[in-house]
């Protein structure tokens, strides 16, 4: 009996280190941050926790009165609404094009498209800052030759968000392309051969074979991309610092600014949990849509 119990405990011993790491570095910090969000903790309270006062929901109430935070929410929603469909559609398009031909050129293109995903964000931001430069940037040089005046890619509040989206989409295509490629190569060729015999063209095969066969991979990429764009931070932090006029400020950058620049940790923690709640709601909606679609098949 004791040996049988010991054998049953062996599998749990293998996952115990991972569970401990998850507990120490994820679950406990989340609970601590939740407690901090109900306090007025700032940098002066770090040395003496007895001075930290519980203020209830004041941080959450103040956040929804804060015009900067509300603007950050609007900017983040704009990033998600524009960026997520672009990433999914372009990644899938590139994957289908590369999958159609297996010659050496398209294998090189696969590497070219994947390279931005593993490139350091700071290095990428420096290069794109030169491209977006209003006076001597590559884009304005090209536009100038066709008679279009200089565009304030990072200085015009109406254009800056789109400029960051272009950069982020360019950087995100590669990894999602590989996921789609793996899914495409798992589709049986016999389905396409049967469709060819029935006279189906490329578009009909794509809509009735490729897309339905890739439902799960499309769902996975969509959910992970939504989560990533709700946490949009690197590009606005490195290139614009949330400007001009907070037009590129995101929820994640707002949390960073209040927590690590203004040292208002309680306020920042409350903002992070609002962002967490928005991500959970968006993810649950995607799961519900996926479940409904599976029921319709």
Q: Please, which residues have CB within 8 angstroms of residue 275's CB and are 6 or more apart in sequence?
A: 76, 230, 231, 251, 252, 255
Whether residue 233 contacts residue 255, with contact meaning beta carbons closer than 8 Å, is answered with no
pLDDT at 296 over 60: no
The pLDDT tens digits for 223-240 are: 999 999 999 998 899 899
Model pLDDT for residues 66-104, shown as the tens digit of each residue: 999 999 999 999 999 999 999 999 999 988 888 877 667
**What mean pLDDT do residues 23-31 have?**
90
Q: What does the pLDDT look like over 179-217, one tens digit per residue?
A: 999 898 888 888 888 888 888 888 888 888 888 889 889
Residue 142: pLDDT over 90: no
Q: What is the mean pLDDT of residues 126-155?
A: 86
Q: What is the per-residue pLDDT for 98?
A: 85
* Greater pLDDT, 4 or 99: 99
Sorted by where each starts, the structural domains of the chain and their CATH numbers stand as 1-36 (no CATH), 59-296 (1.10.3720.10)
Query: CA-CA distance, 242 to 72, in Å (whole number)?
Result: 9
Higher pLDDT, 9 or 163: 163
Length reported for the chain: 297
**Least confident piece of the model among 6-15, 22-31, 89-98:** 6-15
Place of tokens 């929410």: 73
pLDDT band at residue 62 under the 50/70/90 scheme: very high
Confidence at residue 53, expressed as pLDDT on a 0 to 100 scale: 82
pLDDT digits (tens, 9 = 90+) for 242-264: 988 899 999 999 999 998 888 88
pLDDT exceeds 70 at position 284: yes
Q: How far apart are CA 234 and CA 242, in angstroms?
A: 11
Quickly list DSSP for 193-228. Answer: HHHHHTT--HHHHIIIIIHHHTHHHHHHHHHHHHHH
Give pLDDT, residue 102. Answer: 66
Per-residue pLDDT at 167? 92
Rounded CA separation 18/145 (Å): 57
Task: Name the band, by pLDDT with cuts 50, 70 and 90, for residue 2.
Answer: low
What is the C-alpha separation between 67 and 265, in angstroms, rounded?
19
Average pLDDT over the chain, rounded to an integer: 87
**In 3D, which of 90, 270, 105, 108 has the Cα closest to residue 166?**
90
pLDDT number for residue 158: 86
Whole-prediction pTM? 0.88
d(CA 155, CA 89): 28
Report the percent of the chain where pLDDT is more than 70.
93
Which runs of consecutive H residues, i.e. helices, occur in the chain? 2-22, 28-36, 58-63, 67-100, 104-114, 121-131, 138-145, 157-185, 189-197, 202-205, 211-213, 215-230, 234-239, 251-256, 265-296
Tokens 């589709």 belong to which residue? 187
Confidence of residue 297 (pLDDT cuts 50, 70, 90): very low
């Amino acid at each position: 009996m004791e040996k049988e119990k010991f054998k049953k405990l062996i599998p749990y011993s293998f996952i115990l280190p991972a569970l401990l790491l998850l507990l120490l570095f994820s679950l406990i910090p989340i609970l601590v941050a939740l407690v901090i969000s109900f306090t007025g903790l700032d940098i002066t309270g770090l040395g003496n926790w007895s001075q930290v006062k519980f203020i209830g929901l004041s941080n959450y109430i103040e956040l929804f009165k804060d015009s900067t935070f509300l603007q950050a929410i609007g900017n983040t929603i704009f990033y998600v609404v524009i960026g997520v469909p672009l990433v999914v559609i372009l990644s899938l398009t590139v994957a289908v094009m590369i999958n159609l031909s297996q010659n050496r050129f398209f294998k090189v293109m696969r590497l070219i498209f994947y390279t931005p995903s593993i490139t350091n964000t700071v290095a990428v931001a420096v290069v794109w800052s030169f491209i977006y430069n209003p006076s001597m940037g590559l884009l304005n040089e090209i536009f100038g030759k066709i008679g279009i005046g200089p565009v304030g890619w990072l200085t015009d509040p109406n254009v800056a968000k789109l400029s960051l989206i272009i950069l982020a989409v360019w950087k995100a295509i590669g990894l999602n392309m590989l996921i789609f490629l793996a899914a495409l190569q798992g589709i049986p060729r016999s389905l396409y051969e049967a469709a060819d015999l029935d006279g189906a063209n490329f578009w009909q095969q794509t809509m009735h074979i490729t897309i339905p066969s890739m439902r799960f991979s499309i769902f996975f990429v969509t959910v992970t991309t939504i989560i990533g764009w709700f946490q949009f931070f690197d590009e606005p932090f490195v290139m614009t610092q949330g400007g001009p006029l907070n037009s590129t400020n995101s929820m994640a950058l707002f949390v960073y600014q209040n927590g690590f620049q203004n040292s208002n940790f309680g306020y920042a923690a409350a903002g992070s949990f609002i962002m967490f709640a928005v991500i959970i709601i968006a993810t649950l909606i995607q799961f519900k849509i996926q479940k409904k679609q599976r029921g319709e098949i």
